[in-house]
Amino acid sequence: LIDQEAILSIHNPYENNTLNFDTNEVKNYKGIITYIKYLGINHESALNINDSASNTKQIKYKHFFSFKLQSVLIRLSLNKANRIYTHTNIIEVIKQTLGFYQDILHKEIDYSNIHFNYEKQELISQYNESDLDFITRLSHNNGIFFYEDENTIYFCDVYKNVKNKEIEYNPNINNILNQACISSIYKEQSLRTNSFTHSSINANTPLNLLSLHSNKVPYEQELNNKAYYNEHFYESEYSFTKSIDLKTKPSLKEKRALVLNESLLAKSNIYHLSLGDFITLNYKEFNHQEEIKNQDEEKQDKASLLKDFIIIANTQILIDDAILANSINTNDHLNLKDLNLSKSYSNTLALLKKNIIFTPSFKVKPKAPNSTQGIVIGESKDIESERNTIYTDEHGRVKVRINLYANQEELDEKESLYHHTPFLRVASSIASNHSGFYHTPRIGDEVIISFLDDDIDKPYVS
């Protein structure tokens, strides 16, 4: 059963439909089985399985197992890969990486919610990390999040357009009417270090664009274009003493800080909610329609934001027949449905106000090796035909085939595709305004490759 597809289906988990939903929706979670544990405790059952005298192994008693069902994307975490992608953007890299698994994912991949443009980069490296870690790092460090439902994996930098679900808010812990509702909302927060710094040259708008309070979703309304601001962040070209982490744009750090500050936790008994669902809380304090009609548009928008949320996480607890039955006598041949066992269901939702775009946590790049070897290459794949000649760009940089990445060819069944670099700078032992020394390695020469700032995306010929 390991690595086999499976579906966990949750029907109405309440006995005799004590909670009435508008639709008796069946919630399906499709993935693969990654873990199995045998829970059988009956001694006779174990002897029956291991009876060497029996030619046919038969299970005559009830046996219980626990399974772990995980996303099919877990298959991308079972490898360690080293690849180089040149002159492309992160979306194309993600597509190429997922392309290696197109026959085993069995889910459609939806990129239609990627609305922003991502510039091409000279070099994007994957080093000693699984394909899942790699696409997670690329996505999260650029403000892209991904999630899945039964049939589709979504990559998004804006929210998918779905219909709002109206949910009752009932803080009565007894819930005498057996109402499908959110029963409590609470907030958790902890002390954190300062995550970003920005400044402005306009005293009237001292914060950057995202910090200007807007009651609309940022990508639906043009933000205040009179705000002029400078982003302050360090690149290793200008500073060799600053942490690599500082290269994350302050605008992304601010979005992440906003998500942490504004997210809420809510407890509910509604089993069919999904990630990315928009929900509207229906509570009497929000329902003074006559008063709202008399308010101006801005106040109406603010009132809306107090009750309109998106679900960004969902932790569920379901106790049903299969779990409870494990505590009964395994020799009892009664059907589970005849045991009259009680069930329960609850979940904890992480909610974010609808006008705030979710930004995932940032991931650390793998640490580059101190140095490695490589061979200078030319315009063609055939080194021998161009050996001892010079091939450079207008800046005198050379291309290198790095040995560190060469083994990936056979695994990917690609030839010289994922381990040659773009044009790299060649370090000089002496350099000043009036004198210096410079050499250009020739095709076929073996060179030493080092990494600036220990950044795997910044190799140079040392």
pLDDT for the residue numbered 306: 63
pLDDT for the residue numbered 297: 56
Beta-carbon contacts of 267 under 8 Å, excluding residues fewer than 6 positions away, are 182, 183, 184, 346, 347, 348, 349
DSSP string covering 180-222, please?
A: -EEEEEE-----------EEES-TTS-S-GGGS--SS-TTTS-
Alpha carbon distance 279, 277 (integer Å): 6
pLDDT for the residue numbered 449: 93
pLDDT for the residue numbered 337: 55
pLDDT for the residue numbered 242: 41
pLDDT for the residue numbered 234: 44
Alpha carbon distance 404, 424 (integer Å): 16
pLDDT for the residue numbered 428: 83
Residue 180 has a CB neighbour count (10 Å cut-off) of: 18
In contact, 45 and 330? CB cutoff 8 Å: yes
Q: How far is CA 241 from CA 197, 235, 236, 364, 430, in A?
A: 18, 10, 8, 18, 22
Length of the chain (residues): 462
Top-level CATH class of 371-461? mainly beta
Q: For each of the chain's 462 residues, which pLDDT tens digit applies? A: 898 999 999 888 876 667 767 677 889 999 999 999 887 655 554 555 555 555 555 555 667 788 999 999 999 999 999 999 999 999 999 999 999 898 899 999 999 999 999 989 999 999 999 999 999 999 999 999 999 999 999 999 999 988 888 998 888 877 766 788 888 999 888 877 766 555 555 555 444 445 544 444 444 344 444 444 444 444 444 444 444 444 677 778 888 888 988 899 999 989 989 999 999 988 765 454 445 555 555 555 555 556 889 999 999 998 776 555 555 554 555 555 555 556 788 899 999 999 899 999 999 899 888 899 999 998 887 788 888 899 998 888 999 988 888 777 666 666 555 578 889 999 887 777 777 788 889 999 999 999 988 889 889 998
pLDDT for the residue numbered 76: 94
pLDDT for the residue numbered 231: 46
Strand, helix or coil for residue 380: coil
Residue 344 has a CB neighbour count (10 Å cut-off) of: 13
In contact, 48 and 60? CB cutoff 8 Å: yes
| Helix/strand/coil percentages in the chain, nearest 5 | 20, 30, 50
Strands 459-461 and 446-451: antiparallel
pLDDT for the residue numbered 192: 72
pTM higher than the cut 0.95: no
pLDDT tens per residue, range 208-220: 445 544 444 444 3
The dihedral over CA atoms of 441, 442, 448, 451, expressed in degrees to the nearest 10, equals 60
Beta-carbon contacts of 453 under 8 Å, excluding residues fewer than 6 positions away, are 236, 240, 244
pLDDT for the residue numbered 216: 44
Alpha carbon distance 100, 224 (integer Å): 43
In contact, 133 and 81? CB cutoff 8 Å: no
In contact, 201 and 259? CB cutoff 8 Å: no
Nearest to 107 by CA among 145, 70, 149: 149
DSSP string covering 32-68, please?
A: EEEEEEE----HHHHHHHT-TT-SS----S---EEEE
pLDDT tens per residue, range 240-280: 444 444 467 777 888 888 898 889 999 998 998 999 999 99
pLDDT for the residue numbered 381: 73
Handedness of CA 90, 95, 99, 102 (dihedral sign): positive
In contact, 240 and 268? CB cutoff 8 Å: no
DSSP 398: B
List the strands of the sheet with 27-38, edge to edge: 5-10, 27-38, 65-70
pLDDT for the residue numbered 114: 94
